Structure 1
Amino acid sequence: MLLQSRTGALAAALLLAGCAGLGPQQPPAAAFVVIGADGAAQARAITTARSCPAITIDGRTAPMAVRAPFGPIPARGKGHSASFHPDAPSSPVLSCETTIPAGSMHVEVAGQALPLSKAEVTRIVVIGDTGCRLKGKEFQDCNDPTAYPFARVAASAAAWKPDLVVHVGDYHYREDPCPADRPGCAGSPYGYGWDAWNADFFAPGRALLAAAPWVLARGNHETCARGGQGWWRFLDAHAYDPAANCDDPAADGRADYTDPYAVPLGGDAQLIVFDTADTNWKGFAPGDARIQRYAETWRKIDRLARQRRHNIAVDHHPLYAFGATRDAKTDAVTLFGGDAGLTQAFGALDPRLLPSSIDVLLSGHVHLWEQTSFATDHPTQFVAGFAGTAEDIVPLPRTPPAGQSPAPGAVLEALSSWIDGFGFMTMERTGPDTWRVVVHDRDGRERNTCTVTGRHSRCAVPQV
């Protein structure tokens, strides 16, 4: 059951406030529900006003609490940002939050109804890598809904009527200004302020934000050197810490890491969400503090996984999936496996990488949809990084490559993929540890179906 905590203070505040009029309410720029540790549900609102909007819970009204104060997101300075643009637009906003007590029947913010948690979660939408890429030499046509279809994907996913949305990371991609000779992204906001965050995630994702509560994994685009300041202000499920919110580079060691947490799904099943934003795909040098940091992450995942029989892990970086590169001169395709830094840190504790009680891993990072299943006791892997960001186009093989594996010791038994296609994935529970997975295109049409039983999965077609 989804449980909410820390409700006493809120209940007292609501009783004191009653239905007192708070005056005309400016609609927030965004209002949505974030699910955190133990299923605690938080209403979030982002507003351009200087005070938080009112929240009404089962007929009782009170102001929301401030999460992050009103103001623009400050520039971190050259040398501390992946893309430093001191003149990038960063409109001032206020971030607000309120814990939703367990058992609440109706919640609205400034008159906008919010979706509520369900005790038994049976319908899950999985999306990831949703922003429009503007960085370096890679520029996506953000103004073209065909080239950047996240708004359409979000609307189609909302129409599926999920109980829960799981985002596997990478929300913010508009880091550099659109080139003057690129009309497809002309006028796009950029940088790490609210304007770029709104254009990349909140505005195009509006329909899906209104459809169901969200579980949010942190991607490498949300490290402190990139979009981490917005991540902490707007999306992270943990408490906001002004001393470790990515504003001060000296505190990045704290702000780039958060503890794993579990979200109950009902029926002795749960999600375990863990933060891999600051890993290194090349691996860690000896003595790197992140080795111990991610070792502690593994231990906390292991403890959480002992709480339920059926565990689905959620992070950004795949551990058991393939990516592919193509040699520009020879046209040869080379496959690569999971993240080397996490493989190094987790593998020192368990050769399977994740604890044996994890059945499924949901990830993003690679811009495609992919499924892998193993003859060994490794979790089945799904990659759902295909909801908006410019797609990877190098194809994966139709059949598992002989002798190749994406993870140490894992023996591949099934592989399915969709390259160069935008969409979303759904999971519908059919039993205690069984799921029907469907791959949908941007318009919601079914493109592939899979069945999951425990650690194993099979899909109808090897390539969409």
Structure 2
Amino acid sequence: MNSSLLARLGLLVPALMLAACSSLVRDPGPDDVAFVVIGEDGAATARLITAAPTCPPLLVDNRAMPMRVRVPKSAIPPRPGQAHTPPSSAMLACEAPIAAGAVTASVAGIGLPVPKAAPTRIVVIGDTGCRLKGKEFQDCNDPTAFPFARVAAGAAAFQPDLVIHVGDFHYREDPCPPGRAGCAGSPYGYGYDAWAADFFTPAKKLLAAAPWVLARGNHENCSRAGQGWWRWLDPRPFQAGRDCDLPANDAIGEHSDPYAVPLGGGAQLVVFDTANTNYKGLPQSDPRRAAYADSYRKIERLAAQARYNIGVDHHPLFAFGANREAKTGAITLFGGDKGLLDAFGDVDPGYLPRSFGMLLSGHVHLWEQLSFASPHPTQFVAGFSGTAEDIVPLPATPPAGTSPAPGAVVEHMSSWIDGFGFMSMERTGPDTWRVLVHDRDGRERNRCLVDGRKSRCELAQVK
């Protein structure tokens, strides 16, 4: 066989492979959502949520591989006392691994971001849904009142290598009151329609921009949106019974073990589930106290794998929130989650291993930074990306003797109240970071530097 024929064959074979792959690809459906979630040891999984009856193949570097069914096509069944927007859409959840080193990936005609071994540009968001519950109703139809789509687009324009969501994805729990135009027609309850309106649809540009690390919030506990969490977001394989469908199984559905995500260069994220803690505290008789103490021991073992650790959870340990007394207008500060402080403190009076340099959390609807003279990690709170904001101001410095956790001595503090946006982190050294605070359109509002456990921001209060 002459060299000219060999050359022509060399061109033909890849072309035939591409044609074969193309024949397997279908056009994306109008409700299809595809993204990449990062789990234990940095393993990347492609997810597809679709109204189609079957899972299409995943294409990785022009090779087709089957996606497995994570959850068969079905609607989320209401738990006792719950109601969903009727009818709640039936969706199929598909997944397949993406091997480390992959260059391209797509599914159902949707391009997927592939993971980087050492991400250096990270976006942090949290508390992203539109609040419809009790007496608090956000105008979900108004992109100014519910700006998560704008926040997500601004964060995507930052071109991150990785996105971290610190929990509370779902907030549309009750029907919009009659006559309220701002949220009229919004889906509600815990079915896919409310999840799509709150998270998957407004997040699409950011889902396409980078893989995601996901922390579970209290809004995703079993009595609320836990069913959607387990079906669509949790990075581990789906386990029947551990799905929050039946209250009788909540003991296993309310808790999951921590895991680590390598960042390269001796650093890693340690992600832990705090969805079922209690801000009032956990007495010794409460089984959750022992469960979270066990989580701490596993966090400690994971932390030993890296020189520098960044914690990712929903509930802050070392941050402040503020309440205003209705009659007097007096402002009082409250500290980190007491349930976690109780349980972690049973094992370690410092609450986190000393190799932790940062803790990234949400739950309080604001942006906040604290650094300590005591050996505690820098705390960042990024619960400011979509849901109705907390508007009671924090002080530029806390009153003397005030601490977010026993033994934590505040050295530097910064906050932004009543402003929607996202936080970015750019790695500048083994344990140094440049942190920027962005508004809903991506404009810079504050700048911080992190060095090991210490951090300091240019502005004490963003105005």
What TM-score results when the alignment is normalised by the length of structure 1?
0.94
Per-residue CA distance 1:273-330 (angstroms, 9 max, x = gap): 0000000111123321111110110001000001010100000000000000000100
Aligned with residue 52 of structure 2, among 49, 52, 55: 49
How far apart, CA to CA, are the structure 2 residues paired with 1:120 and 1:273? 17
Amino acid aligned to 1:289? P
How far apart, CA to CA, are the structure 2 residues paired with 1:100 and 1:302? 28
SS of equivalent residue, structure 2 residue 209:
coil
Aligned Cα RMSD in Å?
1.4
Q: How does 1:14-163 map to 2 (within 5 A)?
A: 19=21, 21-22=23-24, 24-27=26-29, 29-78=32-81, 84-85=82-83, 88-163=86-161
Say if 2:224 is the partner of 1:226: yes
Aligned with residue 372 of structure 2, among 356, 371, 374: 374
How far apart, CA to CA, are the structure 2 residues paired with 1:287 and 1:239? 32
How far apart, CA to CA, are the structure 2 residues paired with 1:449 and 1:43? 33
**Equivalence for 1:3:** none
Q: Which runs of 5+ in 2 are unaligned?
A: 1-16
Amino acid aligned to 1:427? M
Distance 1:191 1:88, change over 3 A: farther
**Equivalence for 1:344:** 342
**Equivalence for 1:211:** 209
Number of matched pairs:
444
8 A Cα contact 1:89 1:189, kept in partner? no
Say if 2:419 is the partner of 1:421: yes
8 A Cα contact 1:323 1:396, kept in partner? yes
Identity of aligned residues (%): 67
Amino acid aligned to 1:65? R
8 A Cα contact 1:260 1:272, kept in partner? yes
Amino acid aligned to 2:447? T
How far apart, CA to CA, are the structure 2 residues paired with 1:214 and 1:299? 25
Distance 1:450 1:134, change over 3 A: same
How far apart, CA to CA, are the structure 2 residues paired with 1:189 and 1:231? 18
How far apart, CA to CA, are the structure 1 residues paired with 2:21 and 2:181? 50
SS of equivalent residue, structure 1 residue 348:
helix
Per-residue CA distance 1:369-390 (angstroms, 9 max, x = gap): 0000000000110000000000
Say if 2:255 is the partner of 1:257: yes
Deviation at residue 96 of structure 1 after TM alignment: 0.6
8 A Cα contact 1:25 1:54, kept in partner? no
SS of equivalent residue, structure 1 residue 210:
helix
**Equivalence for 2:194:** 196
**Equivalence for 2:383:** 385
SS of equivalent residue, structure 1 residue 201:
helix
How far apart, CA to CA, are the structure 1 residues paired with 2:287 and 2:333? 29
Q: Which of structures 1 and 2 has the bigger CA Rg?
A: 2
User: Which stretches of structure 1, 4 residues or longer, exceed 3 Å deviation after superposition?
Assistant: 18-28, 86-89
**Equivalence for 1:394:** 392
**Equivalence for 2:294:** 296
Aligned with residue 439 of structure 2, among 438, 441, 447: 441
Q: Which runs of 5+ in 1 are unaligned?
A: 1-14, 79-83
8 A Cα contact 1:55 1:107, kept in partner? yes
Aligned with residue 449 of structure 2, among 451, 454, 459: 451
**Equivalence for 1:431:** 429
Per-residue CA distance 1:312-363 (angstroms, 9 max, x = gap): 0000000000000000100000000011110100011111111111110000
